[in-house]
């Protein structure tokens, strides 16, 4: 498996109280597989996604990327090399064009100059926004902003894509279009995709549905 989680536990402390958010989760996803991660608010979905994405570290347990344990010394390199993120709020820089937002993400990964420009052009074409690459975020619709966010995640050819409520700010028609785009790109480029969602439409594009309830998979 390209991404594995083994016996993941996560606790948070507030004052003198300790709260167990994740209570021993085993999980895995293959290249080219799309997993819908569902559960009620407060069930630990976003916390688990953040651990899979090496943003949070588990209290106990291990995350493995392509068989390699994501330990503290390797987290930054793993995030740059292996992971692409799509967020609910788009998180685009307002003063950068669509293309420049993608280029900047590549620069962070150490890809610069002509190589970054060509890769940014490739992925923005792949999401159908080749004619919008010079637009600022304020001049794009919600669906177009999300497509830029998807292109940014695809840039650099990370094998794992993680998406947190990617259709939450989109109407049903645009949300369906974005999900269909996700599936087409994940399958075409053989990328693993994990989507945290409350949106039942995600099931239509997912290969597997996993539910978190009270900090455990069910």
Tell me the pLDDT of the chain averaged across its residues: 92
Element (H, E) at 217: strand 216-217
Confidence label for 201 from pLDDT (cuts 50, 70 and 90) = very high
Give the CA-trace dihedral at 21, 23, 29, 33, to 10 degrees: -60
pLDDT at 71 over 90: no
pTM above 0.85, yes or no: yes
Predicted confidence (pLDDT) per residue in 4-13, tens digit:
999 999 999 8
pLDDT at 27 over 90: yes
| Nearest Cα residue to 198 out of 164, 171, 159 | 164
Q: What is the predicted pLDDT for the residue at 205?
A: 94
Confidence label for 214 from pLDDT (cuts 50, 70 and 90) = confident
Q: Are 38 and 212 in contact (CB under 8 A)?
A: yes
Domains of the chain are 28-89+142-217 (3.40.50.300)
Predicted confidence (pLDDT) per residue in 111-144, tens digit:
999 999 999 999 999 999 999 999 999 999 999 9
Give the CA-trace dihedral at 214, 178, 82, 132, to 10 degrees: -140
- Percent of the chain's residues with pLDDT above 90: 70
Q: Which residues pair with 18 in a beta bridge?
A: 13
Q: What is the predicted pLDDT for the residue at 89?
A: 85
What is the C-alpha separation between 55 and 192, in angstroms, rounded?
Answer: 18
pLDDT at 73 over 80: no
What mean pLDDT is predicted for residues 171-189?
90
Tokens of 192: 């693993």
Confidence label for 185 from pLDDT (cuts 50, 70 and 90) = confident
Tokens 């344990």 sit at which residue? 69
């Amino acid at each position: 498996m390209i991404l594995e989680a083994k016996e993941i536990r996560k606790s948070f402390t507030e004052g003198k109280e300790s709260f167990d958010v994740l209570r021993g989760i085993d999980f895995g996803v293959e290249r080219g597989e799309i997993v819908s991660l569902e559960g009620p608010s407060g069930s630990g979905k976003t916390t688990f996604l953040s651990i899979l994405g090496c943003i949070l570290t588990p209290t106990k347990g291990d995350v493995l990327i392509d068989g390699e344990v994501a330990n503290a010394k390797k987290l930054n390199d793993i995030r740059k090399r292996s992971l692409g993120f799509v967020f609910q709020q788009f998180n685009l820089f307002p003063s950068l064009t669509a293309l420049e937002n993608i280029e900047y993400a590549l620069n962070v990964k150490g890809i610069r100059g002509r190589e970054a420009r060509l890769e940014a052009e490739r992925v923005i074409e792949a999401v159908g926004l080749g004619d919008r690459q010079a637009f600022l975020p304020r001049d794009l619709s919600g669906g177009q902003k999300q497509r830029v966010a998807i292109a940014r995640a695809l840039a650099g050819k990370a094998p794992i894509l993680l998406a947190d409520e990617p259709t939450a700010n989109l109407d049903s028609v645009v949300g369906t279009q974005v999900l269909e785009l996700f599936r087409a790109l994940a399958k075409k480029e053989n990328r693993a995709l994990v989507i945290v969602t409350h949106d039942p439409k995600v099931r239509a594009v997912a290969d597997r549905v996993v539910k978190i309830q009270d900090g455990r998979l069910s």
